Structure 1
Amino acid sequence: MSLSEKDVFARLKENAFYVLGLRPSCTRMEVEREGQKLLAMLELRLSEAAHYDTPVGRMPRTAELVRAAMATLRDPTTRLQHALWAQLPPAPPTAQAPAREEPAPWPEAPVRLGWRRQG
């Protein structure tokens, strides 16, 4: 079975672990606790609960998404599927600055500075 780029994107952005901000190693109790906390924060319209990070970028979080994520992680089969897709860190990789090019060494330096005799 081959997945399209669109399918991969959807699986990463809608992953229940990313929606709840948890890692696959979390317990069921942690899922319930975090889900209830996020629902309360969303009800209060707190800005830190409004978005979640995924490997494909920042996504808006809604109460419906949180409830669906909690339900998904209660089922062992769907939890395993989501755990497999949640192996990447939630934040997209940052672009690394290109390596600074070191100046070429000066092979004649010791001779020119009088530390070694020329050949």
Structure 2
Amino acid sequence: MSLSEQEVFARLRENAFHVLGLRPTCTRMEVERAGQKLLAMLELGLAEAAHYDTPLGQLPRTAETVRAAMATLRQPQARLLHALWAQLPAQGPAPLAARPETEPWSEALVRLGWRRRT
């Protein structure tokens, strides 16, 4: 099965673990606690609950996204799928200034055992 770029981005954006700020190893009780805590924080309008980190950067968090994430993680098959996608670190890409000036994958062949041309 091949996913389109839009489907990949949607799975990263809507990952229930990222929405709740949890690791895939969390328990069902931790899911419920985190969800209830976030819902209360959103209700109070606390800024720290307004966004969540994803591999695509920060995204806005709403009560609806929290409820949907909690419901998703209650389903064993859906939880497994979200756990697989949550393996990517929940942080945005490095800023352009922090990226190396070399071309992408410049060290790939060396790491695979090929020798550099001198």
For the aligned pair, the TM-score class normalised by the smaller chain equals: 0.7 to 0.9
Which residue pairs with 1:113 in the alignment?
none
Superposition map of 1:55-94 within 5 A: 55-94=55-94
Pairs within 5 Å for 1:27-106:
27-95=27-95, 96-98=98-100
Per-residue deviation, 1:92: 1.6
Shift of 1:15: 0.4
Gaps of 5+ in 1: 100-119
State the identity %: 76
Partner Cα separation in structure 1 for residue 32 and residue 9 of structure 2 = 26
Deviates more, 1:90-99 or 1:10-19: 90-99
The alignment status of 1:10 with 2:10, answered yes or no, reads yes
The offset of 1:7, in angstroms, is: 0.4
TM-score of the two chains, using structure 1 as the length reference:
0.79
Question: What is the TM-score normalised by the length of structure 2?
Answer: 0.80
Q: Provide runs of 4+ in structure 1 moved above 2 Å.
A: 95-99
Counterparts of 2:15 and 2:28, CA distance in 1: 16
Larger radius of gyration: 1
Task: Count residues with an aligned counterpart.
Answer: 99
Structure 2: unaligned runs, 5 residues or longer: 102-118
Q: Give the CA deviation at 1:94.
A: 1.7
